[in-house]
Structure 1
Amino acid sequence: MPYVAKDFGKLVGMDGFSETLLKNHFTLYQGYVANTNKLSDLLGGMLAEGKTATPEYAELKRRFGWEWNGMRLHEFYFENLGGKGPLDPASRLGKAVAAEFGGVEKWEADFRAAGAMRGIGWVVLYQDKLGGRLFNQWVNEHDVGNPAGAVPLLVMDVFEHAFMVDYGLKRADYIAAFFRNVNWKAAEARLS
């Protein structure tokens, strides 16, 4: 059964994100969904034909992680947008990050600092399912840097396509707009 791109059109009109930027971003996401489906079909066909020992199969198998993670990370990102206001320190997520980082403000400063680092990628607040701990992680490429067994709670896209149309090189302004629009309930719902 193929993956279906989700409709995130409700985000259009969100403060700090132009319609052009969002629609371009949605189109990019839809490409990840389409490519995930194409690769699934190709790999399934090669498996059925006994072509798994070929270099083509190996490269498609490697590429699948890029496309699939690109699809999922964008879904997490769009799903944790559309809210208003700061993280409530009294919420379950607020208490969890305060316990781990020594305060909501310290956690947010760390998350923002990771987002401001040079380079392209993602910043993700993860929860280690086994240890229960929370940590902010830089993910360079979709398929590199995702810690095994960790669950993404809050995802911020810091590839240029996420902000250049509206903010040019002013990544800090984009990060401020991101924080004005976090849907904290969606992020908290991912917390176990």
Structure 2
Amino acid sequence: MYTAKDFSSLLGTPGFSETLLKNHFGLYEGYVKNTNALEEKLSVMAKEEAFGTPEYNEIKRRFGWEWNGMKLHELYFANMKKGGAALDPNSPLGQKIVAGWGSLDGWAKDFKATGALRG
């Protein structure tokens, strides 16, 4: 059983509206709830040895989607910092980004466009 972590300390982080963060906290909590529900269904189906049935297969696939959504939100939130410093373009990471996207700004534009994709 997974428990949603409290990331409310991130409210007030510069560059992130309270509405945006609260919406994502809600999405994250939904992923945790769905992961738990699917894990419970899979446990029952395993006891019934329903492996390989269309229902089992679909629930197993969906479990991966929900679990990944839960974990990716946890990793993202865990890496956020209030008052964090801007990335130094001369740091090892900054140099890799500049090599791949031409500039930090080029990377930021691509990153934001990717984040705006549906689905």
TM over 0.5: yes
CA distance, structure 1, for counterparts of residue 17 and residue 102 of structure 2: 35
Give the TM-score of the pair, scaled to structure 1.
0.52
The sequence identity of aligned pairs, in percent, is: 57
Give the TM-score of the pair, scaled to structure 2.
0.77
Partner of 2:101: 101
Measure how far apart 1:77 and its partner are.
2.7
Please list, as runs of the form range in 1=range in 2, the aligned pairs for 1:35-74 lying within 5 A after superposition.
Answer: 35-74=34-73
Deviations 1:31-67 (A, max 9, x none): 2112112212221221122111322212211211221
Give structure 1 stretches of 5+ with no counterpart: 122-192
Where in structure 1 do 4 or more consecutive aligned residues deviate above 4 Å? Answer: none
CA distance, structure 1, for counterparts of residue 93 and residue 20 of structure 2: 29
CA 1:28–1:106 in 2, change beyond 3 Å: closer, same or farther?
closer
Give structure 2 stretches of 5+ with no counterpart: none
Please list, as runs of the form range in 1=range in 2, the aligned pairs for 1:93-172 lying within 5 A after superposition.
Answer: 93-116=93-116, 119-121=117-119
CA 1:45–1:23 in 2, change beyond 3 Å: closer, same or farther?
same
**Cα RMSD after superposing both structures:** 2.4
CA distance, structure 2, for counterparts of residue 112 and residue 31 of structure 1: 23
CA distance, structure 2, for counterparts of residue 30 and residue 98 of structure 1: 35
Number of matched pairs: 118
The structure carrying a bigger strand percent of its residues is 1
CA distance, structure 1, for counterparts of residue 76 and residue 21 of structure 2: 12
